């Protein structure tokens, strides 16, 4: 695989990127205010290492014992192959909407529509999870605040609205606040890890300890459950590509940010979980502790540091909310611009003052609040995130595999896999199919029942049916004269 340096720097590179966009029939409208670092931090924020740690680490320790930690590097290696594919696609198609646009360019309008629909549903489901974690963090900071159904709804709603208020300023402000939040998050997590390592109670050999979860049987089954949970923490890194039209040197910087966002998140998670495990005085009691992280930090580093961690967590969780809502907005904007959503004129109108699509922001807020109607089953809804986000992954990878057999790409992008493209794509799609089967396997902890069927099956079939009906009733008959055929780009401008 290779990356090539842009032929122009600064304004000339942006001009060349704008000309490249016009080959897709897209007139550049956004200001290019993002770069490699801000794009990488968006990807990290979307994955939310602190949010994931507070939601998932306790469960993975309980279900897999200390050996659960090896799921992180294993998943990272396979997800890195997926990241390489996304990086190449982002370089070929640096369009607002990211993965939706890649599916559309590779597989046509219907594949693009279903990719975008599944992806929007997946990231909309992230918002209740963010609100739930925000509620837990606030309850840890303010002991008088009790975690109730009402408080979860109220705090999730306030978090979403505050994120929207940040969104309507400008992408520069959004990027700045998100970057500050993510940098603070990384510093707090690594600071906590360093502090815990000075309170080491376990030898490194504990990392091979399964905690007795397998009984007298194989560890494979509990480890597969752990994989289904941990993979939730390492998806969404491709969101760096959703902001391509707002990124300088858009045919290479988002590609690099996709890979860096995944690698950074996986590294921070592994270091923090490693330090946490080694600091546990008693493995068995820790495996049964629902408030694992706050209690360990309080015991080893004191209540003051535990409070500091929760303050950092509060800021980082809000960064995840901003990044998630911003991604929903870009997906809506990209789909509306291609005529795949009603009210396209409203959804794609940009503010003259901030260059933000206010219509798309309002719709994103409404969609983000809808899952709160099911607040009593939030754990069930959150369990569906992995399945809903992996389905569009498979749609795009499948379309790409077909196109590679047909000779794609005709010209190399600035980030390209060259001869590695086919084997990397094959392994990536096989891995994603495995993840979907694992996540969708009927089990209470990762895919509980929602009525007659497990939640992933219910939501997956529901989105498939609604999307297919909407396509044949409305979208298929629309004029496509202003849409480029899939794979229209065959050369790169000099």
Residue 494 pLDDT greater than 50, yes or no:
no
With H, G, I as helix, E, B as strand and everything else as coil, classify residue 231: helix
Instruction: State the burial class of residue 313 (Cβ atoms within 10 Å of its Cβ: 0-12, 13-18, 19+).
Output: buried
Chain centroid to Cα 107, Å, comes to: 22
Residue 484 pLDDT greater than 70, yes or no:
no
Structure tokens at 13: 């590179």
Q: What is the pLDDT of residue 485?
A: 41
CB 64 within 8 A of CB 71: yes
**Higher pLDDT, residue 50 or 430:** 430
Q: Encode pLDDT of 304-316 as tens digits.
A: 888 888 888 888 8
Q: Encode pLDDT of 352-383 as tens digits.
A: 888 889 999 999 999 988 887 765 666 666 66
3-state secondary structure 120-178: HHHHHHHHHHHHHHHHHHHHHHCCCCCCCHHHHHHHHHHHHHHHHHHHCCCHHHHHHHH
Element (H, E) at 454: strand 453-454
Long-range Cβ contacts of 191-194 (<8 Å, 24+ apart): 192/272, 192/275, 192/297, 192/301, 192/305, 192/309, 193/271, 193/272, 193/274, 193/275, 193/276, 194/275
When computed from its CA atoms, the radius of gyration of the chain, rounded to whole angstroms, is 22
Residue 119 pLDDT greater than 60, yes or no:
yes
The Cα 447–Cα 470 span in angstroms is: 27
Query: In 3D, which of 298, 359, 295 has the Cα closest to residue 332?
Result: 359
The Cα 463–Cα 493 span in angstroms is: 39
CB 442 within 8 A of CB 380: no
Q: What is the pLDDT of residue 71?
A: 95
Contacts for 151 with CB less than 8 Å, ≥ 6 apart = 135, 139, 145
DSSP 293-317: HHHHHHHHH-HHHHHHHHHHHHHHH
Q: Which fold has domain 34-475?
A: Amino acid/polyamine transporter I (1.20.1740)
With H, G, I as helix, E, B as strand and everything else as coil, classify residue 3: strand
Q: Encode pLDDT of 384-405 as tens digits.
A: 788 889 999 999 999 999 999 9
Residue 350 pLDDT greater than 80, yes or no:
yes
Residues 400-424 as b or e (16 or more Cβ within 10 Å = b): bbebbeeebbeebbbbbbeeebeeb
Instruction: State the burial class of residue 489 (Cβ atoms within 10 Å of its Cβ: 0-12, 13-18, 19+).
Output: middle
Instruction: State the burial class of residue 24 (Cβ atoms within 10 Å of its Cβ: 0-12, 13-18, 19+).
Output: middle
Q: Encode pLDDT of 214-267 as tens digits.
A: 776 789 999 999 999 899 889 989 999 988 998 989 999 999 999 999 999 999
Torsion angle (degrees, nearest 10) of CA 121, 81, 255, 390: 0
**Higher pLDDT, residue 213 or 127:** 213
CB 300 within 8 A of CB 199: yes
Q: What is the pLDDT of residue 416?
A: 92
**Please, what is the average pLDDT of the chain?**
86
CB 430 within 8 A of CB 14: no
Distance from the first to the final alpha carbon of the chain: 21
The Cα 274–Cα 154 span in angstroms is: 35
Structure tokens at 337: 């611009």
The Cα 195–Cα 190 span in angstroms is: 9
Residue 292 pLDDT greater than 90, yes or no:
no
C-alpha distances in Å from residue 17, one per residue of 8, 287, 354, 420: 10, 52, 21, 26
Range of lowest pLDDT (18-22, 68-72, 105-109, 462-466): 18-22
The Cα 476–Cα 385 span in angstroms is: 28
The Cα 241–Cα 98 span in angstroms is: 5
| pTM, two decimal places | 0.91
Residue 170 pLDDT greater than 60, yes or no:
yes
């Amino acid at each position: 695989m290779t990356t090539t340096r842009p032929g122009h720097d600064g304004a000339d590179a942006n001009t060349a990127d704008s000309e490249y966009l016009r080959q897709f029939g897209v007139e550049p409208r956004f200001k290019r205010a993002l770069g490699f670092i801000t794009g990488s931090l968006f990807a990290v924020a979307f994955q939310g290492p602190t949010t994931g740690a507070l939601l998932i680490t306790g469960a993975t320790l309980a279900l897999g014992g200390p050996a659960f930690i090896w799921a992180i590097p294993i998943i990272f290696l396979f997800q890195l192959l997926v990241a390489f594919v996304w990086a190449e696609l982002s370089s070929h198609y640096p369009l607002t909407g990211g993965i939706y646009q890649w599916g559309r360019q590779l597989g046509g309008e219907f594949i693009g529509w279903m990719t975008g629909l599944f992806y929007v549903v997946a990231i909309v489901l992230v918002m209740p999870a963010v609100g739930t974690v925000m509620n837990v963090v606030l309850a840890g900071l303010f002991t008088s605040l009790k975690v109730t159904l009402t408080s979860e709804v109220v705090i999730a709603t306030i978090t979403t609205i505050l994120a929207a208020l940040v969104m309507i300023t400008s992408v520069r402000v959004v990027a700045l606040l998100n970057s500050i939040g993510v940098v603070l998050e990384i510093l707090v997590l690594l600071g906590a890890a360093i502090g815990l390592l000075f309170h080491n109670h376990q030898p490194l050999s504990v990392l091979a300890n399964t905690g007795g979860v397998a009984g007298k049987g194989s560890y494979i089954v509990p480890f597969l459950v752990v994989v289904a949970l941990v993979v939730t923490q390492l998806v969404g890194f491709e969101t760096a590509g959703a902001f391509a039209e707002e990124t300088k040197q858009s045919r290479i910087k988002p590609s690099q940010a996709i890979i860096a966002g995944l690698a950074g998140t996986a590294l921070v998670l592994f270091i923090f979980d490693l330090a946490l495990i080694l600091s546990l005085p008693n493995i068995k009691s820790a495996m049964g502790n629902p408030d694992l992280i706050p209690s360990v930090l309080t015991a080893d580093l004191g209540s003051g540091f535990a409070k500091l961690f929760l303050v950092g967590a509060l800021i980082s969780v809000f960064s995840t909310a901003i990044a998630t809502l911003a991604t929903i907005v870009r997906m809506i904007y990209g789909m509306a611009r291609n005529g795949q959503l009603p009210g396209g004129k409203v959804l794609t109108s940009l503010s003259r003052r901030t260059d933000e699509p206010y219509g798309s922001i309002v719709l994103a807020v409404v969609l983000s609040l809808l899952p709160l109607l099911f607040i009593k089953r939030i754990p069930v809804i959150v369990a569906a995130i992995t399945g809903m986000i992996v389905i569009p992954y498979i749609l795009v990878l499948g379309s790409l595999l077909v196109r590679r057999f047909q000779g794609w790409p005709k010209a190399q992008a600035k980030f390209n896999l060259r001869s590695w493209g086919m084997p990397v794509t094959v392994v990536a799609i096989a891995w994603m199919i495995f993840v979907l089967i694992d996540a969708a396997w009927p089990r209470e902890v990762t895919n509980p029942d929602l009525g007659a069927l497990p939640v992933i099956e219910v939501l997956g079939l529901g989105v498939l049916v609604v999307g297919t009906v909407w396509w044949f009733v409305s979208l298929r008959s629309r004029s496509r004269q202003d849409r480029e055929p899939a794979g229209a780009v065959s050369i790169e401008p000099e």
